[in-house]
Structure formats: C-alpha cells, structure tokens
C-alpha cells in the first residue's frame, strides 16, 4: 500500500532511513477501534489514497496519556475512525495545534467536530423499503451497539421505512449486538425461535447479516426461501457468501479519502469547505432476498 507506514508502539518499525525523504514527511495518527477487519482495510485504503502518510494504532487499550503521547510524537494530525474522544483529549490536541478529523464519528452532536460519515439513516430506509417491496411485513432488525451513532441511525431508518408503509413498530423484533458474525447469529437465534418469527431480517452490518444466515441454516430454514437477509457495508465477504448477500454499500474507501483530504487542508491551515460530509449509500441486490414464502 503506497504511502502507508505501520509503526508498532513497541518496536517503531518504519520506512528505512535510506529511502526516507528529508526532512521527514509529517505523519498522521490513524486510529481504529480494531485493525483486524475488512472494514478497516477499506477505510485505510481510502486514507492512503488521499496522499497522507499514516501511523496505525488501535483504540483498544488506549491509555489516559494517549493524546499527550501523540503530541510528543509530533503527529501532524489525527484521524479517528468510529472512536470516541474525551473533552480532556480534545483540549490536549487543541493546545498543541494538532487537527482532528473523524471518520464515521461516534457523536455528531459535538459542536467542533469535523468528520465524514455515510448516509446511515437513508441506507436503513432503503434496505427495509426493498424488503417491503418484496412483500415482507414482519421484518426484524439486528442493530449494532446502542451507543454507536451509525447503529442508531440505521435502526432509525428501519423504523422510518415501516412507518411510511403504515406498519406498526414491534419492539420485540428489534435486537442489538456487537458488529460481529457471532453477535448476529446469537440475536437471530432468538428471533427465529419465536412462534411468529420474522420473514426477513435487516442487519446493521455484513458480519451480523452472515451470522443471521448461519442461524437460519441451523434452524433448518433456507435463505432466501424462508428468510430474507439484508446487510450493510458491502464487504468482499458479502459478494463471496452463499447465497451472495443483498446489502447496503457504504463508500468506505471514499470516506477515508475524503477525511484524508479534509485533514490535509487543516494541517496546511486551510479550513475545510464544510465541517461535516455525508456520503451516499447504495442498495446492492443479490441472492439473499426474495418474496416471502406463501403460508
């Protein structure tokens, strides 16, 4: 990946001194909640495409001195990917003149936030409208963690689509889990054990959706014959799944690229044209959705 430098906190691995430009290229701290996911790789690809040189780090185990450590390391800026930041940490960066840009921000209500997100609410509406158009009326949702902005927005989109279709909201069909295959499977297991089980499930990300497919198979149900499933993200695993997953494509690389451009402007002392950018999502229809079985 051109332009990408990965520095571990312990060993400080970096580009060799022989090919390192002089003076050193300013480095940007790119912080993920976790690094071992296709989702993170897509965002990272976009950030690198923006032309920034980055140091990767994980929010897991981030200590209280993290902000001061980043300032001491003379980072030119910070990109926070779905990571919260405390007021105290913001003050450390502000005093040092280190700009911050959020990708998929946790809290869009923060007054000084500069960030890039996807149209999560609209994506949720689109996913459920697709299921409604197929004839589904008993549609469940497996949302992500309740305290994560994108999860709340996608579940809100689910509710909006049902309301527009004149379908009463049923709280028993709303479940929440972490953004993992195991979380999706666990919540789908509970939904599919119900005597009035849903005919379709909208999951807040692709990993959860693939877990829902696994739960359906374990229950002796076929996808999409007995249960339609829609995910969110359009990761490579969604295209490779059997059946291939209908999902809402989130422009992850474009989000990373746009955030990189915004941070580059801030580092150069140029205010971004706008503080908040929302990029459109798109429904990708594949093989995991179909009209409900006649009962």
Which positions ≥6 away from 242 have C-beta within 8 Å?
A: none
Q: Give residue 110's pLDDT.
A: 67
Residue-wise pLDDT tens for the chain (295 aa)? 333 333 333 223 233 333 433 344 579 999 998 777 888 999 999 999 999 999 998 877 677 788 999 999 999 999 999 888 888 999 999 999 999 999 998 876 666 789 999 999 999 999 999 999 999 999 999 999 998 899 999 999 999 999 999 999 999 999 999 999 999 999 999 999 999 999 999 999 999 999 999 999 999 999 999 999 999 999 999 999 999 999 999 999 999 999 999 999 999 999 888 899 999 999 999 999 999 987 5
Most distant CA pair in the chain, distance: 71
CB of 47 closer than 8 Å to CB of 260? yes
Spatial CA neighbour of 118 closest among 256, 5, 220, 14:
256
Give the residue carrying structure tokens 């921000």: 105
Q: Give residue 111's pLDDT.
A: 67
Q: Give residue 7's pLDDT.
A: 34
Please give the full DSSP string across 121-133, using - where no structure is assigned. HHHHHHHHHHHHH
Task: For residues 45 and 254, give the distance between their C-alpha atoms in angstroms, rounded to a whole number.
Answer: 9
Task: For residues 35 and 27, give the distance between their C-alpha atoms in angstroms, rounded to a whole number.
Answer: 18
Rg (CA), the chain: 21
Which strands, in side-by-side order, build the sheet including 115-118?
53-58, 27-32, 77-81, 100-103, 115-118, 276-279
Of all helices (H) and strands (E), which one includes residue 110?
Answer: none
What global pTM score does this model have?
0.87
CB of 222 closer than 8 Å to CB of 248? no
């Amino acid at each position: 990946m051109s332009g990408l430098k990965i520095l571990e906190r312990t060993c400080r691995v970096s580009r060799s001194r022989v090919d390192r430009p002089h003076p050193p290229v300013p480095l940007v701290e790119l912080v993920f909640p976790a690094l071992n996911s296709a989702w993170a790789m897509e965002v990272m690809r976009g950030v690198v495409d923006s032309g920034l040189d980055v140091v990767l780090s994980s929010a897991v185990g981030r200590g209280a001195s993290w902000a001061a450590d980043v300032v001491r390391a003379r980072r030119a800026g910070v990109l926070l990917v779905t990571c919260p930041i405390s007021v105290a940490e913001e003050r450390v960066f502000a005093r040092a003149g280190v700009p911050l840009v959020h990708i998929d921000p946790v809290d869009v209500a923060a007054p000084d936030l500069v960030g890039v997100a996807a149209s999560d609410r609209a994506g949720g509406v689109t996913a459920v409208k697709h299921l409604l158009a197929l004839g589904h009326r008993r549609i469940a949702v497996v949302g992500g963690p309740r305290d994560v902005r994108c999860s709340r927005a996608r579940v809100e989109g689910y509710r909006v689509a049902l309301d527009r279709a004149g379908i009463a909201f049923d709280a028993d069909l709303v479940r929440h889990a972490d953004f993992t295959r195991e979380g999706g499977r666990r919540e789908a297991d509970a939904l599919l054990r119900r005597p009035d089980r849903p005919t379709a499930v909208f999951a807040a990300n692709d990993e959860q959706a693939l877990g829902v497919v696994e739960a359906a198979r374990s229950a002796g149900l076929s996808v999409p014959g007995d249960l339609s499933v829609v995910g969110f993200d359009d990761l490579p695993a969604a295209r490779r799944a059997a059946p291939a997953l209908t999902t809402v494509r989130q422009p992850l690389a474009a989000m990373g690229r746009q955030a990189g451009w915004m941070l580059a402007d801030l580092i150069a002392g140029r205010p971004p044209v706008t503080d908040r950018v929302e990029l459109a999502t798109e429904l990708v229809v594949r093989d995991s959705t179909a009209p409900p079985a006649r009962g």
